[in-house]
């Protein structure tokens, strides 16, 4: 294991005020609160007012992370936003964040890796900080998946919520930092979870919009199966890369897609609920935001502190999956 070069200096998150409960969804589609709770663990999720840009949440999360880290926006060299629901097709949402924060010296770009976007961003930032002259990076994971949900499709619309989370990275000290990361993908399974609309394949013609081609398509059971398998394998890999055992982790922060996925992965490692951070019941699946929101909550509530070992692991559309071991 090599010495970490980059550590997390601070975290922040932002979610909309508006709560959409399972009882609210019962009035919108043919579902029941009990079914949603039993199959997903979700009780409620936060949703934006339609038309709210992702940058609004991303800027708030980013500003809170910078304050937490005590870093001036002008000292940020690099802004990466992991998202599949940026404000616009272009420019990158990271550019809107850069302008709003006054990060006048930063490079800015987005990463499209769906629910794994934050960990993808983390590894890219870590690598750039080792090989280029960047000293401070702001990595944000954020999504407004409710902007691409078909509210008549009960298979998908009950799952998702909106939010953004952020981490500020800087030079590592005292053995703390990003110990290892791994990123994987399998595009041959893209058809199991995707949004076919509004790209070059299916431009937003009247007919395409009528066919709701801009909404999420998903084979839930298949996604579930691949998620458990791949999250388990990649977590084992980053533990090996870090020369750590699962028992060395103070906490595992898995992507919050479904409580049953989280429990299945935890069971493979023999982890009790005290070692696994879970907030899916309050936020649903917030895609790229789920891990940094959980990381911030766990840190601010005192469940995690300096020197603790944390595992992060995510899986999502692509398929793209990722994991990391961080010493805070
Ligand atoms: C979507 C998911 C919750 C469905 O749970 P499941 O236990 O696999 O349920 P199934 O899809 O097998 O459906 C079981 C039944 O419930 C029904 N059902 C599906 N959605 C429903 C809903 N919202 N309310 C009530 N019934 C529902 C189905 O129609 C099916 O009925 P049938 O047996 O009469 O055909 C689950 O597969 C899942 O979470 N998958 C992973 C999704 C995910 O994480 N995506 C994002 C990855 S980042």
pLDDT for 138-182, tens place per residue? 999 999 999 999 999 999 999 999 999 999 999 999 899 999 999
Average pLDDT over residues 101-106: 98
Domain boundaries, position 20: 6-174
Counting beta carbons within 10 angstroms of the beta carbon of residue 198, is it exposed (0 to 12), middle (13 to 18) or buried (19 or more)? middle
On whether both 216 and 307 belong to a single domain, the answer is yes
Shared domain check, 54 and 203: no
Residue 2 has pLDDT above 70, yes or no: no
Q: Is 56 left (phi over 0), alpha (psi -120 to 50) or beta?
A: alpha
Residue 210 falls within a domain, yes or no?
yes
Give the per-residue pLDDT at 212.
Answer: 94
Q: DSSP label at 159? A: T
Q: Are residues 32 and 162 in the same domain?
A: yes
Q: Are residues 144 and 81 in the same domain?
A: yes
What is the separation, in whole angstroms, between the first and last Cα of the chain?
16
Residues 227-259 have pLDDT tens digits of 999 999 999 999 999 999 999 999 999 999 999
Same domain, 66 and 123: yes
Q: Is the CB of 116 under 6 A from ligand 1?
A: no
1 domain residue, yes or no: no
Distance 63 CA to ligand 1 centre (A): 37
Query: Do residues 193 and 313 both lie within one domain?
Result: yes
Dump pLDDT digits (tens) for 113-147.
Answer: 999 999 999 999 999 999 888 999 999 999 999 99
Whether 303 is in a domain gets the answer: yes
Looking at the fold, whether 154 and 191 belong to one and the same domain comes out as no
42 in a domain, yes or no?
Answer: yes
3-state SS, residue 276: strand
Domain end (from 174, 202, 219): 174
Going from the Cα of 159 to the center of ligand 1, the distance in angstroms, rounded, reads 10
45 CA to middle of ligand 1, Å? 17
17 with 81, same domain: the answer is yes
Domain annotation covers residue 313: yes
- Separation between Cα atoms, residue 187 and residue 102, nearest integer Å: 37
Strands (E), the chain: 6-14, 19-21, 44-46, 78-82, 107-111, 137-144, 162-171, 177-185, 193-194, 217-218, 251-254, 309-316, 320-327
Inside any domain, residue 246: yes
Question: Based on the domain organization, do 160 and 216 belong to the same domain?
Answer: no
Ligand 1 touching residue 35 (CB < 6 A): yes
* Cβ of residue 11 lying under 6 Å from some atom of ligand 1: no
Does 285 qualify as catalytic in the annotation?
A: yes
Pocket test residue of 38, 152, 155, 194 for ligand 1, highest count of atoms within 8 A of CB: 155
Q: Is the CB of 220 under 6 A from ligand 1?
A: yes
pLDDT grade, residue 198 (50/70/90)? confident
> Looking at the domain assignment, is residue 253 inside a domain?
yes
Cα(285)–Cα(141) distance, rounded to whole angstroms?
13
Tens digits of residue pLDDT in 214-233: 999 999 999 999 999 999 99
Please report the atom of ligand 1 found closest to the CA of residue 154.
Answer: 23
* Other Cβ atoms closer than 10 A to 109: 16
Best probe residue, ligand 1, of 25, 33, 39, 224 (max atoms within 8 Å of C-beta): 39
Mean pLDDT, range 85-103, rounded to an integer:
98
Same domain for 274 and 139: no
3-state SS of the chain: helix, strand, coil percent to 5? 40, 25, 35
276's tokens: 């696994």
3-class SS at 130? helix
| Count of domains forming the chain | 2
Which of 116, 194, 224 gets mutated to test ligand 1 (max ligand atoms within 8 A of its CB)?
A: 224
Q: Which of 121, 140, 174 is the last residue of a domain?
A: 174
Does any ligand 1 atom lie closer than 6 A to the CB of residue 316? yes
Q: Is the dihedral of CA 80, 86, 90, 96 positive or negative?
A: negative
The pTM score is 0.97
Sheet with 137-144: list strands edge to edge: 6-14, 162-171, 137-144, 78-82, 107-111
- Which residue is catalytic, options 22, 95, 226, 255? 255
Catalytic residue, candidates 115, 157, 195, 230:
115
The enclosing domain of 228 has a CATH number of 3.40.47.10
Please tell me the distance from the alpha carbon of residue 265 to that of residue 67, in angstroms, as a whole number. Answer: 34
- Given 129, 157, 174, the domain boundary residue is 174
Told to judge if 115 belongs to the known catalytic residues of this protein, a careful annotator would answer yes
223 within domain boundaries: yes
Over residues 277-312, the pLDDT tens digits come to 999 999 999 999 999 999 999 999 999 999 999 999
What's the average model confidence in pLDDT over 12-27? Answer: 98
Atom number of ligand 1 nearest to Cα 157: 23
Q: 227: which residues sit within 8 A by CB, 6+ positions away?
A: 257, 261, 315, 321
Is 285 close to ligand 1, i.e. is its CB under 6 Å away? yes
CA distance 270 to 272: 7
């Amino acid at each position: 294991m090599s010495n970490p070069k980059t550590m997390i200096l601070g975290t922040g998150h932002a979610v909309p005020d508006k709560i959409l409960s399972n009882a609210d969804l019962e009035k919108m589609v043919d579902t029941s609160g009990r079914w949603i709770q039993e199959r997903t663990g979700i009780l409620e999720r936060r949703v934006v007012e339609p038309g709210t840009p992702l940058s609004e949440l991303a800027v708030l999360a980013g500003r809170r992370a910078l304050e937490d880290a005590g870093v001036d926006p002008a000292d940020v060299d690099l802004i990466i936003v992991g998202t599949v629901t940026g404000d616009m097709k272009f420019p990158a949402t990271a550019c809107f964040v850069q302008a709003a924060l006054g990060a006048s010296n930063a490079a800015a770009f987005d990463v499209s890796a769906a629910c794994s976007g934050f960990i993808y961003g983390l590894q890219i930032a870590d690598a750039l900080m080792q090989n280029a002259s960047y000293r401070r990076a702001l990595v944000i994971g954020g999504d407004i998946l409710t902007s691409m949900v078909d509210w008549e499709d009960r298979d998908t619309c009950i799952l998702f919520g909106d939010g953004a989370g952020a981490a500020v990275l800087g030079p590592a000290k005292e053995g703390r930092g990003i110990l290892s990361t791994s990123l994987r993908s399998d595009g041959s399974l893209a058809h199991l979870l995707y949004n076919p609309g509004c790209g070059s394949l299916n431009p937003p013609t009247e007919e395409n919009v009528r066919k709701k081609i801009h909404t999420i398509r998903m084979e839930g059971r298949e996604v579930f199966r691949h998620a458990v398998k791949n999250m388990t394998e990649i977590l084992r890999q980053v533990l090996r890369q870090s020369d750590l055992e699962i028992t060395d982790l103070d906490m595992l922060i898995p992507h919050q897609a479904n409580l049953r996925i989280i429990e299945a992965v935890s069971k493979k490692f023999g982890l009790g609920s005290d070692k696994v951070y879970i907030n899916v019941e309050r936020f649903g699946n917030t895609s790229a935001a789920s891990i940094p929101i959980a990381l911030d909550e766990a840190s601010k509530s005192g469940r995690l502190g300096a020197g603790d070992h944390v595992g992060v692991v995510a899986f999502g559309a692509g398929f793209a999956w990722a994991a990391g071991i961080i010493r805070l």
